[in-house]
Amino acid sequence: MKLSKGQMGGRLLGLMVAGVALVTGGTALAELGQPAPWEYGLQGAASPVMESITYFHDWLLIVITVITLFVLGLLVTVVIKFNAKANPVPSRTTHNTLIEIIWTLGPVLILMAIVVPSFKLLFEELDLPKADLTIKATGKQWYWSYAYPDNGKFEFDSLLAQDKQPRLLGVDNEIVVPVDKVIRVQVTGADVIHSFAVPAFGIKIDAIPGRLNETWFKATKMGMFYGQCSELCGKNHAFMPIAVRVVSDQDFAAWVEVAKKKFASAPGNSFASAADVAQ
């Protein structure tokens, strides 16, 4: 099928409109704290660190787009202006001081524009502010255990709940934290290497047996936030979700009172529930 220039333009325009519709539709579908169909970007931010990550990601996208368009422009110029027909007698220039200075300094400046916000973000992630609450997450094959050392030292297991929504993200016992408080998360593994990751909070840290890793988040929004073990820890790797319920201070205090009683005798249960999950 041969298309005229006009038809071609029409088709391209149609494709672009479809693309824009998809992009705006994808954004509209995005749900806070969990993945959504047709989502192509990062999950919505619900912590200062994730906001910085999103900002840095968008900044890099601008930088790489400008560079790519610039290189494309250069290539097109070369192809059109300097092909054998248009330019039969090529220049024999081998050195040009000005251009050499530009193409040395240019990349240095671009790298500086990347490295400064990059280090700022790294420090923000790794420099723990004074914590209001500490939670210890222990990765096990294939579920998580959470301990609340500040609030009566109770501990409980959190297993995938098949009947809960969102599918493969719902758990029986969620982590509960107060909103707008600095939560220190200590992460370790009880058997193999797992990884504790919650995209909306911008945290992802390895759970390594014999080591205590630390990260932090401050949830700026209330609601449910989901994550996953993001380490290849074994056959049920994909079935150990992380669910965090962010609530008000009062609701958190009320939950602590209930949880203290509910999980008073929990620590011994780990292995029984592990056997359930492994089946």
Binding site for Cu ion (CB under 5 A): 194, 229, 233
Give the CA diameter of the chain. 88
The token duo for 242 is 């992380």
Nearer to Cu ion, 169 or 229 (CB): 229
Nearer to Cu ion, 194 or 218 (CB): 194
Nearer to Cu ion, 156 or 252 (CB): 156
* Distance of alpha carbon 77 from alpha carbon 210, whole angstroms: 59
Nearer to Cu ion, 226 or 255 (CB): 226
Nearer to Cu ion, 48 or 139 (CB): 139
Nearer to Cu ion, 26 or 234 (CB): 234
The string of DSSP codes covering 19-80 is: HHHHHHHHHHH-BTTB--TT--SPPPP-SHHHHHHHHHHHHHHHHHHHHHHHHHHHHHHHHH
Q: How far is the CB of 209 from Cu ion (least distance, A)?
A: 12
Contact predicate 155/145, CB 8 Å: yes
Q: How far is the CB of 183 from Cu ion (least distance, A)?
A: 21
Q: Which residues pair with 194 in a beta bridge?
A: 207
Q: How far is the CB of 171 from Cu ion (least distance, A)?
A: 14
Residue 67 dihedral angles phi and psi, to the nearest 5°: -60, -45
Nearer to Cu ion, 25 or 35 (CB): 35
Q: How far is the CB of 57 from Cu ion (least distance, A)?
A: 25
Q: How far is the CB of 34 from Cu ion (least distance, A)?
A: 19
Q: Is 258 helix (H, G, I), strand (E, B) or coil?
A: helix
Q: Is the peptide bond before 90 cis (omega within 30 degrees of 0)?
A: no
Contact predicate 136/146, CB 8 Å: yes
Q: How far is the CB of 191 from Cu ion (least distance, A)?
A: 9
| Secondary structure letter of residue 213 according to DSSP | E
* Distance of alpha carbon 84 from alpha carbon 132, whole angstroms: 70
Q: How far is the CB of 255 from Cu ion (least distance, A)?
A: 26
* Distance of alpha carbon 53 from alpha carbon 217, whole angstroms: 13
Q: Are strands 241-247 and 175-178 parallel, antiparallel or unpaired?
A: parallel
